[in-house]
Amino acid sequence: MTDICVLATVIGAFNREYRVTVVDDAAATIWPEIQRAALDIVARAYGRVVSSKHASIPCPRGHRSQSQC
C-alpha cells in the first residue's frame, strides 16, 4: 500500500541518501485520495514520482520531481 509500505520505504531510502523514484501506476492503495496524498508527499520531500512510461528516464542529479526533470 502506497500510504504505508511505499512511503515508509521511500523515507528510509531517503534517510540513507538514496535518490528515490516511485512509479505511480505500479503502487496502489484502497482510497484514491490517500494515493494522491502519499505520492504528493514523496514528490514534495523525498524523491520523484513518475509513470511507468517514464520510469526508465534518468533524472539529473539534484532534481526531485518529474516536473523538474
* φ, ψ at 7 (rounded to 5°): -60, -40
Strand residue runs (E) in the chain: 20-23, 47-50
* φ, ψ at 30 (rounded to 5°): -70, -40
Residues 6+ apart with CB under 8 A from 41: 7
What's this model's pTM, rounded to 2 decimal places? 0.78
* φ, ψ at 18 (rounded to 5°): -85, 150
How far is it, in rounded angstroms, from Cα 9 to Cα 4? 9
pLDDT digits (tens, 9 = 90+) for 4-46: 999 999 999 999 999 999 999 999 999 999 999 999 999 999 9
